[in-house]
Amino acid sequence: MSYKMDISLSPIPASIAGGKTHYEDGAFFVALRRIKDVYELFLFHGFVKRFTTATMPNEIKPKLAMINSLKEFFMKKDGDFQELDMYISRLYLSKEQEEFKNIGWRVSPEMYVLILTQDEINKLQGVDV
């Protein structure tokens, strides 16, 4: 049985959420859910981009590969966390993994948080700026 979660805050500006990233002010924490072979990326205005491993956007592939290479020391069970807690990197990354606060982390077996810039988000939504 898959846990369904209401994602209403994603994306969250990293500066508001207290996250320090290597990006200036244009970084966002963005929720990504994987259910079986389908990924759901929660973007602005309720826009959800769905894709598979085969159709995954180039902005996502390297970040997801790096996150999946991490040892899962702090991963929670699906349903055992609030959405706002997902965006606090120190709850999911060890001191040795701190550089991933600029890439993203895995929250649970189904949930990830990715760090994306406004330009990456615009491209994923098909918005030309």
Would you kindly state where each structural domain of the chain is located, as residue ranges? 12-124
pTM reported for the whole predicted model? 0.84
Query: pLDDT (tens digit, 9 = 90+) per residue, 104-129?
Result: 999 988 999 999 998 899 888 887 66
Q: Note the pLDDT of residue 5.
A: 62
Give the chain's largest Cα–Cα span.
Answer: 40
More confident residue, 69 or 26: 69
